[in-house]
């Protein structure tokens, strides 16, 4: 049955190509959100339905299901089955596997084919031009030609380097970039704002390849993480409204939101998931709602899908976000130390106004005097010097208050742990999104457990998120040892670690030689795509 269905799809695709040799069929634009299956071991179908309804409500078309192979997470098949069933129940919402190649490897062809045979003909499978989508995190060296005779997938792997569009012959149909934050590659941290350097290279290389391969562009609102195996921030202060206009301008075929529920890297836009497993990230994610970012995301998703150059605003709202303390505050109960990159942050309060016509915004931060500015119609983001204490926001027009109130978290000049996550809230009559603090049921753990819980995260096979970003494609055995030492030794007098790759671009340590893709120079190719190594 499954094989026959697949064969029918292959014929269908062939027919389209033959009938329209000069006109490529293209699916409508769609927005998917990266969902960490590795933290929802015990999700029920009802849990999945709840998540999907929340996502669908803002125009998200489906989830990219980040998962490890069954030999790593035994519950992967069960939770994929739950997700496909839930999506069918929700309707108008689809899913596709996003294989996390920190865990999968090139020897997994048989399991990948089995996975596709299990799920890819289900009605809730996301498709592009009729073909079932599959994607990856890293894993760009996997050859889809080995899969396509059995299941004619539309493969959109994560390419770690746009040069790979030309150098790889792995039968991919599109490229997904993970460069959603300001970086020169290799997790190097640089000052914002985000630009489209990486996207432009992907788009140009894909177009020049002339094979009709598509681009799936990443969009993320934030990045901060505080495990012992990875402890840094990317400079993502006004990223959400810096990034989305880039999407409206580039008009990629697909968008992937990074992420829906990765609490470990603080770029979730879901509500809290009380039933998810805690890899230690509850320390910085509990009590830090991000729902307000969905209001902004919703406006931009609609604009992206309609091809508009700016979002349309139907009601007056404001979304605010800020960190808990100034960046130079010394935290008293944290043995891990401050995250790398925080020196490039600014101590600011951020407010996005979504207004139907010009209005005024007044922000009172701590003991500072109120600051009032004029804001134009549409969606714009403004920042204000962070004061200590309560934060008050008032949106008005012609002297009449439209929306406002006191922010849900006070800033402080003391701290226990180095939490650089953002508290996000909103005010406005148009908001149907709850932004109350949504602490999960798991209790906030004391700071003394930060190190032990993150140690657990880096060694646990079930914590897919803990080795994200830092991990080039490696076998599970070398992953474990790399995580255990939390650094890659690469020659006498020379060590590359995620944390040593900080601004200015210095993924090449003194005395090291870049051995990435031939013919490419730093800083553009200071990344992990070409398996970096260096010699003293």
Interface residues toward ligand NAG, by CB under 6 A? 41-42, 70, 77, 80, 111, 114-115, 118, 237-238, 277, 346, 348, 383
Say if residue 245 is exposed, middle or buried (CB neighbours under 10 Å; 0-12, 13-18, 19+): middle
Whose Cβ is closer to ligand NAG: residue 70's or residue 491's?
70
Position of minimal CB gap to ligand NAG:
277
CB 325, min distance to ligand NAG, A: 17
Whose Cβ is closer to ligand NAG: residue 112's or residue 433's?
112
CB 314, min distance to ligand NAG, A: 25
CB 119, min distance to ligand NAG, A: 7
| Collapsed DSSP state (helix, strand, coil) of residue 10 | helix
DSSP letters, 247-314, are HHHH--SEEEES-SS-TTTT---S---TTS--SSTHHHHTT---THHHHHHHHHHHHHHHT-SS----
CB 2, min distance to ligand NAG, A: 10
Contact 63, 38 (CB under 8 A): no
CB 384, min distance to ligand NAG, A: 9
- Please tell me the distance from the alpha carbon of residue 185 to that of residue 181, in angstroms, as a whole number: 10
Whose Cβ is closer to ligand NAG: residue 167's or residue 462's?
462
CB 210, min distance to ligand NAG, A: 35
Whose Cβ is closer to ligand NAG: residue 161's or residue 237's?
237
CB 427, min distance to ligand NAG, A: 20
CA distances (Å), origin 446, targets 15, 272, 408, 413, 451: 61, 19, 22, 19, 11
Whose Cβ is closer to ligand NAG: residue 115's or residue 283's?
115
Contact 317, 419 (CB under 8 A): no
Whose Cβ is closer to ligand NAG: residue 70's or residue 326's?
70
Whose Cβ is closer to ligand NAG: residue 39's or residue 257's?
39
- Please tell me the distance from the alpha carbon of residue 506 to that of residue 502, in angstroms, as a whole number: 6
CA-based Rg of the chain, rounded to a whole angstrom?
23
- Measuring CA to CA, which residue among 86, 83, 95 is closest to residue 34? 95
CB 278, min distance to ligand NAG, A: 8
Backbone angles phi, psi at 389, to 5 degrees: 125, -145
Number of other CB atoms surrounding residue 292 within 10 Å = 28
| Collapsed DSSP state (helix, strand, coil) of residue 245 | helix
Whose Cβ is closer to ligand NAG: residue 351's or residue 415's?
351
């Amino acid at each position: 049955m499954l094989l026959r269905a697949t064969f029918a799809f292959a014929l269908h695709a062939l027919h389209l190509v033959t009938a329209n040799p000069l006109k490529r069929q293209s699916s409508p634009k769609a927005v998917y959100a990266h969902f960490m299956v590795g933290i929802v071991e015990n999700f029920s179908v009802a849990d999945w339905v709840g998540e999907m309804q929340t996502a669908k409500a803002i125009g998200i078309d489906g989830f990219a299901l980040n998962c490890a192979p069954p030999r790593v997470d035994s519950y992967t098949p069960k939770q994929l089955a739950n997700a496909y069933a839930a999506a069918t129940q929700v309707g108008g919402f689809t899913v596709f596997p996003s294989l996390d190649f920190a865990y999968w490897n090139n020897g997994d062809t048989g399991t990948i084919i089995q996975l596709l045979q299990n799920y890819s003909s289900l009605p809730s499978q996301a498709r592009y031009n009729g073909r079932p989508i599959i994607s990856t995190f890293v894993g760009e060296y996997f050859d889809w030609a080995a899969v396509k005779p059995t299941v004619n997938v539309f493969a959109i792997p994560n390419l770690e380097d746009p040069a790979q569009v030309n150098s790889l012959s792995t039968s991919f149909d599109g490229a997904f970039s993970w460069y959603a934050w300001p970086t020169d590659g290799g997790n190097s941290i640089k000052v914002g704002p985000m630009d489209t350097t990486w996207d432009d290279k992907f788009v140009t290389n894909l177009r020049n390849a002339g094979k009709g391969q598509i681009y799936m562009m990443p969009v993320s609102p934030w990045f901060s993480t505080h495990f012992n195996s990875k402890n840094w921030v990317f400079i993502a202060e006004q990223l959400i409204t810096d990034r989305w206009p880039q999407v409206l301008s580039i008009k990629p075929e697909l968008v992937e939101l990074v992420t829906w529920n990765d609490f470990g890297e603080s770029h979730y836009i879901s509500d809290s998931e009380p039933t998810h497993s805690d890899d230690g990230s509850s320390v910085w994610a509990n009590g830090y709602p991000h729902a307000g970012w969905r209001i902004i995301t919703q406006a931009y998703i609609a604009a992206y899908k309609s091809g508009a150059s700016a979002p349309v605003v139907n009601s007056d709202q404001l979304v605010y976000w800020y960190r808990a303390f100034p960046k130079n505050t010394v935290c008293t109960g944290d043995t891990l130390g401050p995250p790398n990159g925080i020196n490039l942050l600014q101590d600011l309060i951020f407010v996005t106004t979504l207004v139907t016509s010009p209005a005024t915004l007044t922000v009172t931060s701590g003991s500072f005097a109120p600051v009032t500015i004029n804001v134009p119609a549409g969606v714009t983001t403004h920042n204000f010097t962070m004061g200590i204490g309560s934060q008050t926001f008032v949106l008005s027009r012609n002297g009449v208050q439209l929306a406002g109130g006191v922010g849900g978290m006070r800033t402080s000049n003391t701290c226990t742990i180095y939490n650089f996550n953002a508290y996000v809230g909103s005010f406005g009559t148009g908001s149907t999104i709850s932004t109350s603090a949504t602490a999960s049921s798991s209790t906030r753990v004391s700071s003394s457990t930060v190190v032990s819980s993150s140690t657990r995260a880096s060694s646990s096979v079930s914590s897919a998120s803990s080795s994200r970003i830092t991990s080039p494609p490696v076998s599970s055995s070398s992953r474990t040892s790399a995580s255990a030492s939390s650094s890659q030794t690469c020659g006498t007098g020379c060590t590359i670690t995620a944390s040593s790759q900080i601004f200015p671009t210095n993924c090449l340590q003194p005395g090291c030689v870049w051995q990435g893709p031939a013919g490419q120079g730093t800083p553009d190719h200071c990344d992990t795509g070409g398996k970096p190594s260096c010699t003293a």
